[in-house]
Amino acid sequence: MTARAPSWLSMATITTKSKENAARPEAAPAPLDWPLMYNNITRADLDAVIEYLRQDSPILTQSRQVGLFEQEWSAWLGVKHSVLVNSGSSANLLTMAALRETFGPGEVIVPTLTWVSDITSVIQCGFRPVFVDINPRTLGMDDEQVIARLTTQTRAVFLTHVLGYNALTQRLLDELKVRNIPLLEDVCESHGATFNGRKLGSFSLMSDFSFYYAHHMSTIEGGMICTDDPGLYETLRMLRSHGMVRESGSEQLRRRYREQFPDLNPDFIFAFPAYNVRSTEINAVLGRSQLKRLDQNNERRRANLRLFLDHLNPGKYRTDFEVEGSCNYAFTLILKQPDPAFRDRLEHRLREAKVEFRRGTSGGGNQLRQPYARKLLGDRAFENYPKVDHVHFYGYYIGNYPELEQSKILALCALLNQLG
């Protein structure tokens, strides 16, 4: 009996050139025309907005639709409260502002591979960011390094689930519980992904989502902060809207402020230095329409990722990601070896094939190489994080959307596997 060839090898064999062809100059591959995201706001979503606008004098600013989207999102995620804002970055900012209001200044442990607002929100709210390197199999923070950096000054661990991969471990959850240190999750790239069967974003004191166009679902721009904590929920509602006390849903809290500040018009009591990061009814209508098919879309994304990783040559690319519970809107393409010439050939072929990609994955790689971080930590701090630095130069993301045809995924794998 002959052993079955691995799936990546069979694809490579199908597309291997004959000896005769090998002598000719390589033909440019047929364009795959593969954008980072495609058709993420559908006709049905737009029709839902048009239907809403048809009524006489529809309310457009934050009102009932926002409230309904928040309730439906909370039910989907399995948390008590959600607060809709105008972007994932605003969700990050309010999360840090609420942490600061509640626990005071100190250190926040952050990843080196994340979106810029996960770090800048920490700095803007007066915390000291403490960085850790990644676990290459999840692209999330290395849990041993997180635990090693916990101190009496740690106010929170602000973890990012990168590109759909779960970054939680039971060891980290147990350690934070014992030490009574809050966990915060950024789930902007991982809607619907799970750990031990439970949705990411439901494990932490506060969790953040983004509904930017390129993500799992979209409200054009948008973000959500989720929490089970009733006090933080009221704080977040006020922070979203100038710090105004009347934004709180708690009559008890509003009365307390009225009684404490009798000289103020109760409509204009500003509890904190805050922001206006509200969303609108139109974004909420889009979100409600999108949420109905999120789970179904995510099943397609999971199948696409499995197909992609199964057919990539593991000698050239990393395929050993921890995919259990993952849910990606992007394929992670990470070279096994730090080979600049191979990387240049890869980028050239992807451009020729019209496959859009981002080097360094979604946030552009090692945050400590960025000018804002160098100013804070010095020009060479990035050298202490070699694993994220590999992704910075040799890691990519490519779009994964529900309508992606399997044949295209196989053609991309063949193209990548041919590269030598």
Ligand X SMILES: Cc1ncc(COP(=O)(O)O)c(C=O)c1O
Q: Which residue ranges make up the site for ligand X (CB under 6 A)?
A: 87-89, 92, 114-115, 117-118, 160, 186, 188-189, 210, 212, 223, 362
Q: Inter-axis angle of helices 64-77 and 281-291, to 10 degrees?
A: 30
Kindly tell me which of 182 and 201 has the beta carbon lying closer to ligand X: 201
Q: Which residue is nearest to ligand X (CB)?
A: 88
**Closest C-alpha to 141, from 116, 166, 107, 123:** 166
In the bound complex, what is the minimum distance in angstroms from residue 163's beta carbon to ligand X? 8
In the bound complex, what is the minimum distance in angstroms from residue 97's beta carbon to ligand X? 15
Kindly tell me which of 29 and 164 has the beta carbon lying closer to ligand X: 164
Contacts of 152 (CB under 8 A, 6+ apart): none
Using CA atoms in the order 342, 348, 352, 354, what is the torsion angle rounded to 10 degrees? 90
In the bound complex, what is the minimum distance in angstroms from residue 87's beta carbon to ligand X? 4
In the bound complex, what is the minimum distance in angstroms from residue 117's beta carbon to ligand X? 5
Residue carrying structure tokens 């591979």: 113
Tokens of 378: 């010095």
Kindly tell me which of 188 and 200 has the beta carbon lying closer to ligand X: 188
In the bound complex, what is the minimum distance in angstroms from residue 96's beta carbon to ligand X? 12
The Cα 179–Cα 360 span in angstroms is: 34
Which ranges of 317-383 does DSSP label H, i.e. alpha helix? 340-352, 371-377
- The DSSP letter of residue 348 is H
Kindly tell me which of 164 and 325 has the beta carbon lying closer to ligand X: 164
The Cα 187–Cα 223 span in angstroms is: 10
Kindly tell me which of 121 and 248 has the beta carbon lying closer to ligand X: 121
- Side chain identity, residue 197: G
The string of DSSP codes covering 171-224 is HHHHHHHHHT--EEEE-TT-TT-EETTEETTSSSSEEEEE--TTSSS-SSS-EE
**Closest C-alpha to 124, from 106, 102, 97:** 97
Residue carrying structure tokens 């789970």: 295
Kindly tell me which of 362 and 400 has the beta carbon lying closer to ligand X: 362
In the bound complex, what is the minimum distance in angstroms from residue 267's beta carbon to ligand X? 30
In the bound complex, what is the minimum distance in angstroms from residue 212's beta carbon to ligand X? 4
Burial zone of 389 (CB within 10 Å; 0-12 exposed, 13-18 middle, 19+ buried): buried
Kindly tell me which of 88 and 243 has the beta carbon lying closer to ligand X: 88
DSSP bridge partners of 39: none
Kindly tell me which of 107 and 118 has the beta carbon lying closer to ligand X: 118
Beta strand segments in 223-366, E: 223-227, 330-334, 357-359
